[in-house]
Structures are given as structure tokens and as C-alpha cells.
Amino acid sequence: MGNASSVGLCGSSVKRDSDEDSLEMDLRIRELEERAGNFESLLREAEGQVAHLQKEVASRDKRIDSLIREVDKLKSVLEITSQDVAHPDLVPFAVPRGDTSGPCLSPSTGPGAKKQGVSGESATHATIKGTADYNLEKHEKDFRWKQLIKDAILSNDFLQHLVTTSQVKEIVDCMYSKEVPAGSLVIQEGEPGRHLYVSAEGELEVQKGEKILGRMGPGKAFGELAILYNCTRTATVKAVTNSLLWVLDRRAFQTIMMVTGLQRLEENISFLKSVPLLRNLSKEILSKMADVLEVDFYPAGEYIIRQGATGDTFFIISNGQVRVTQKVVTGDGSLAEEEIRCLGRGEYFGEQALLREDRRTANVIAIDPGVECLTLNRESFNQLIGDLQELQTKDYGDEARLRRVSNLTTSTVSLEEEFKHIQLDDLDVIATLGVGGFGRVQLVQYIYDKQKTFALKILKKAHVVETQQQQHALSERAIMMSCRHPFICRMYKTFKDDKYVFMLMEACLGGEVWSLLRDKNNFDDTTTRFITACVTEALEYLHSRNIIYRDLKPENLLLDAQGYVKLVDFGFSKVLASGRKTWTFCGTPEYVAPEIILNRGHDKAVDFWAIGIMMYELLTGTPPFCAFDPMKTYKIILKGIDALGFPNYIRRDAVSLMRRLCRDNPSERLGYQKGGISDIKKHKWFQGFDWDGLRNRTLVPPIVPKVKGSTDVSNFDIYPILIEDSPVEISGWDKDFDCSSVR
């Protein structure tokens, strides 16, 4: 009995202890649950803070990126300048040649100075003759000199970006030797230059004014700007010891660049024509495709495409060979690769990828030592070309249009009845409207009708001949006499004497857009849009007639009395057949497109680049790419638009348009793709713009100048009326300018 009582008490005690443990466990669980809830709350709060901080970081990153872009242009100039200080032998030795009797127009004059156009000799001969008939004079030299010249060119900060491997070889072969005695001048400051030099033996001294900038030993290339276009040297180079130089003149350099460029273009077009899918396309379309082809190298054994994979790229073999294989089922049911054939230079594969998503039906494998292919992807093809079936049947009428424009030679342009009777002696000078590199423009009055005034452009013939710009002057006359457009200045008649040629043109008395921009510092969005729209309309007209302009800038835009913009100065314009390119280096340094700097051949795409540059200058007051000498400017241009910062006050859609116009690759520029110049007009920045009102001249211009009468020159800067004397020039190149016999 006692034992039973003892067991019962023990059981009660155990049960009580168990209940207490269970209660304690429940309390502990509830405590942990509360703490877990608190942790979850803290975690959510922390996640919210992290998300907020991430947004702040992203915002700051964008701001930092914007600031980096804004300083990049100045940083680039400082980097280049510091290189010049550290390496005085890299001095460019040249500035554009101009008319020193007028105001200095060099980019180096800084803010407030007009920008000066530059040009090499006309390069029409190579495009007409083709590449097969053009021979370059080559000079024997041993391997040591060849290697020295090659190393000097490839170590030059500018030339290394300018030439390809094959072009370097041609340059090396065409350079000739020149011995320079101690004390003799190689280059003289202020003198015209046309040669590139590579120092081979001896020591040279570089001097600017009275200041010695430094010395050069063997293996240095200098004078490089002079092989691009006419310019004067900015420094003197003298031989300190007896020296040996290797020399290349500008004509040889231009020929090398043209011939190699034409050969590459013709070869790529020939490759494209061999493709049945493409052979019926026009020369213009094939030329655009040739421009957008990329060069890719595949090492031996690499699979270029794999059977069963989807692809969007078309390949043409430019060098090497590939194996084509397919997977087949063997007798035992396993898969094995079976070689079908080999493809070599000029053969192609993957062409269906240009039309649709293409599932590859075979493997293509590079053969030793590797293969080089020209490639084109479907996206680029569609942006640039559009629908293939439509293009194969579309008649662009380019050939007929080109014949019409080409037939407007200087000798066949008809004179308008209203102006046939006007003679040079019938004109009185009222004022000088502008001064440029080759002459000046004067406001003249017809003595028999005082209400009739004209702009008379006067070019010094001797200067035109000296700088070999005869073809440009003749082209300007022919093109302007043939143009009839509300936003292009009219040319009525031309004259000549033994010193000058004269162009009688429409007087636009609203003033220069450049002068207005200088006085206002920058234009607002509305004014910039109006000016850009006028220019776009003018360029659309020119391009429809196979004319490229090549010198767009505010200095070449005038306002008429109503405030509408007119394009003037066609000195660099050219009739260029569709699908063709030209190689003459011409334009204004701040406005030239990369393909002009790199001598890769150019076409109307350079005008679209220039629209973007002009927009930037109108909105900010300065061009986006500028430095204190042209060589530095070109280096900054080659850095590209993506390295450029835009001020915060410029609208995003304006920035978008400028970026799309100023692509390094011409084929990527808005206006040059399948939609043509209409793509520019449809851009968001022009949304709501009254294009019909502009064309009909019912749109009220944002700037309406005050013009009191036909002799009011108050909207122009003041220049002396006196015409600078010029030597007699009677070679006869200007015979078509003589209209004096017409009464």
C-alpha cells in the first residue's frame, strides 16, 4: 500500500514537471515567433532602404557619366596638347591656307572667328579612270629603310589611324630619298606645304618664330597635315647635321588612298554581285551594302556556323577556305559529320539569313591557317536596305537624273532672259558683304534700275590656280546655275577678266546665320529647328539631283528679307553618281566626317553628319569637336560622338537626333538608311513641325530681320570695299565664266 502511494506521488510530480516544461516551451516558441516577426519587419525595412540607395546610386552614376562626357572634349584637347608639349617633334607644321589679306579664319583664332574651309586638289581623275590604269612611281630601298618608314608612320599619333596595312606598304614603296645638308631648311614657317617626311639619318631642329621647340632624330614622321590638303607650315624644320629624309608628296598619297579604297569597294561589290539573291540590285544599293560589310577572322578549326543553330548573318569569304559538313546517320544508327565540299575566296554562305530567321542546314568550319570573311547581319541589312523584293523591282531613275545634272556643264547652262543683258560694267559696288579665303562678296546695284541689287562673288584666279581649285570653281558655277529651290541662293550669271572670275547671285540681306549666332551666343530650340528644317529641305533637293554639298556650317547660311534660310557657297559641292564615292579632302575642319579624315572615300552621308554638327553649334554656340589647330580637331572627331557631353539644357530628343546623325559609320546615319532623308523629318525632335508651311513659305520664321530696302547692309559686318589686287592669270581654265558677249 505504501509502495503504491509512493508511485502515485512520483507520477504526479513527473506530470507536473512535464506541464511546466511544455508551458516554458510554448512561451519560448512565442518569444521566438515575435522576434522572427521583428526580424522580418527589419528585413523589409532594410530591403526598402537598399532599393532606395540603389536608386540613388543609379541616379548618381548617370550624373557622373554625364559629367564625364561633358569634360571629355576638353580632356581630349588637354591630353593632345600635353603630348605636343612633351613631344615637340609632333608639332603639326601646318594650318589651312587662306587669304591673308582678309580676317584670319583659322580655327586657331578662337571664339568669334569664322571657320575656314580647306581642300586638297580635286580627285576626279581616279574615279573616272578606275584603278587599273593608274600607276604609282615606286622607289627601291632596302629592308632597313622600309622598316624605319613603316615604324615611323605607325608610331605617328595621327597617321596610325589614317592608313591600313596595305596602304602603309604602298606609302613605303612610293617614298623617295632626299639628302639635306647641315644648316638647310626642310620646312619653312608660312610657306605652302605638300610633303610628308620621315627622318632617316641626322638631327633636325624644330623652330616656331624665334623659339626652338625641340629636336628630332631618325624615325620620326612629320608634316602630315600637308598630305591631306593645301596648307601653310606653322613651324620651321632645319637640318642641324647632314641628314637623310624619305619624302612623299600629297598627290601620291591621295592616289594611294583613292586607288586602294576603290579597289576594296569594287572587290566587295563584285563579291555581292556574285550572290544570285543580290545580283539584280542597283549599284547604289550594292555600294551601301559594301560599306556596311564587316571583316571577321576565324582561326583554323573554328565553327563559323553550326548545323541546326539559328542565324542572322551572311558570309562572303575574302581570304582562306572553309569546310562544309553535315551530320548523317551511319549504318549503326550513330551520327557522324560528312564533308560536303570546300568553299574558297569569293564564295558565300548563309545568304537566306538576310531574309528571315535561318536555321543552319550544315556546319561551316575554318581551314588552316584560318579564314577571313566579310559579314552582314540581318538587322543592318534591314535598316540600310529594307525589303529585298521591293528593291529588286524598284526604279530609282538615278541614271536618267544623273545624265540631266551632268549635262548641265558650265558651257550649256542657259541664262535667264531677265539677266542676259546685264554686264559687269553695269554694276556699282554698294558694300562688301563678306571676305573669304579665295576672294570676297560685294553688294552691287544695277545702274539702270536702282531697285535691283545682287551679291557679286569675286574669286582671284591666280589663287584658285595656285591652290588647284579650278574644278571646284567650275563645279560651283555649274551646280548653282542649275539649282532652283527656295532655300538655295540663286546664281544668275558669271563674268571674267584677266584677274578675277565673278558670280552674280541673289542678294540675301537678312544677314549671316553665323553673325546672328555670334551675337546671341546660342539659339533656342525653335530657332535651331527652323534653320535645320530649311537646310534639310535644301539638302533633300540637292541629293535628289545627285549633288553632295560638303561644306555645311552657319557661315554658309544666309537669311533672306523674310527670315528664311538660304544655302550659299557651293565651292565644295559635287555631282556624284549613286553608288560612287569621292576622295578629295574638303570641308571645314570642325565639320568634316570621319571618313573624310581617314581618306576612305565619301558620299552624301557626310552632309547628314554635318547636320548633326550644325545643330550642336546652333544650340550651344560652338561646334562639338574643336581645338586650337586642325590636327587636334581631327583627333577629337575620331573619338566619336559617344565620347561627347551635351549641356543639360538641350532637349533629349535633340540629343537623340544629333547622335543618330553623327555616327562614325556612314551607313548608320539617319538619312542614309532605307527611309532616306524622310527619317530625319519624322524624328521626334521635329514632331509637330509644319513642313508644308515651311515649303510654302507661310510659316512665320523665328527671326525676321529688319531690311529697309535693297541696299540695306545693316545686318552684315563692316568690311572695306577695296578689292585686293591679284596677278594676271590667263591659262584659260575659266573660259565658261565669260558671258559678256550675251546682250
> DSSP of 293-325, one letter per residue?
-EEEEE-TT-EEE-TT-EE-EEEEEEES-EEEE
Among 3.40.50.300, 3.40.109.10, 3.30.2130.10, 2.60.120.10, what is the CATH number of 137-257? Answer: 2.60.120.10
**pLDDT the model gives residue 94:** 53
Cβ-based neighbours of 26, under 8 Å, separated by 6 or more: none
The pTM assigned to this predicted structure is 0.77
pLDDT in tens, 499-557: 999 999 999 999 999 999 999 999 999 999 999 999 999 999 999 999 999 999 999 99
523 is in an annotated binding site: no
Of 74-78, 148-152, 333-337, give the lowest mean pLDDT range.
Answer: 74-78
457 is in an annotated binding site: yes
658-661 own/partner pairs: CB under 8 Å, 24+ apart: 658/612, 658/615, 658/616, 659/612, 660/612, 661/608, 661/609, 661/611, 661/612, 661/615
Active-site entry in 551, 560, 607, 734: 551
- C-alpha–C-alpha distance, residues 695 and 688, integer Å: 15
Percent of the chain with pLDDT over 90: 55
**pLDDT the model gives residue 28:** 80
62 is in an annotated binding site: no
Label each residue of 669-697 as H, E or C: CCCCCCCCCHHHHCCHHHCCCCHHHHHCC
435 is in an annotated binding site: yes
Say whether 19 is catalytic: no
At 32, list the grid cell.
521566438
- C-alpha–C-alpha distance, residues 288 and 673, integer Å: 9
In this predicted structure, the answer to whether residue 411 has a pLDDT above a threshold of 70 is no
Measured CA to CA in angstroms, residue 38 lies from 46, 50, 77, 207, 238 at distances of 12, 18, 58, 79, 84
**pLDDT the model gives residue 457:** 97
- Helix then strand then coil, in percent of the chain rounded to 5, is 40, 20, 40
- Computed on alpha carbons and rounded to an integer, the radius of gyration of the chain in Å comes to 35
- C-alpha–C-alpha distance, residues 135 and 415, integer Å: 42
pLDDT in tens, 336-391: 788 999 999 989 888 888 777 778 888 999 999 999 999 988 888 887 766 655 54
Mean of per-residue pLDDT scores for the chain: 84
**pLDDT the model gives residue 119:** 78
Of 186-195, 212-221, 351-360, 582-591, give the lowest mean pLDDT range.
Answer: 351-360
- C-alpha–C-alpha distance, residues 715 and 546, integer Å: 34
Q: Where in the chain is the domain with CATH 1.10.510.10?
A: 511-696
436 is in an annotated binding site: yes
Nearest to 566 by CA among 591, 531, 611: 531
In this predicted structure, the answer to whether residue 726 has a pLDDT above a threshold of 50 is yes
Q: Where in the chain is the domain with CATH 2.60.120.10?
A: 137-257, 275-385
**pLDDT the model gives residue 188:** 94
At 686, list the grid cell.
521635329
Q: Which CATH superfamily is domain 275-385 in?
A: Jelly Rolls (2.60.120.10)
* Angle CA 175–181–184, to nearest 5: 95
* Beta strand spans in 138-194 (E): 176-180, 185-187, 192-193
Q: Evaluate whether 230 touches 118 at the Cβ level (below 8 Å).
A: yes
- The reply to whether CATH 1.10.510.10 applies to domain 511-696 is yes
645 is in an annotated binding site: no
In this predicted structure, the answer to whether residue 415 has a pLDDT above a threshold of 60 is no
663 is in an annotated binding site: no
Among 3.40.50.880, 3.30.200.20, 3.30.1360.180, 3.30.70.100, what is the CATH number of 423-509+719-737? Answer: 3.30.200.20
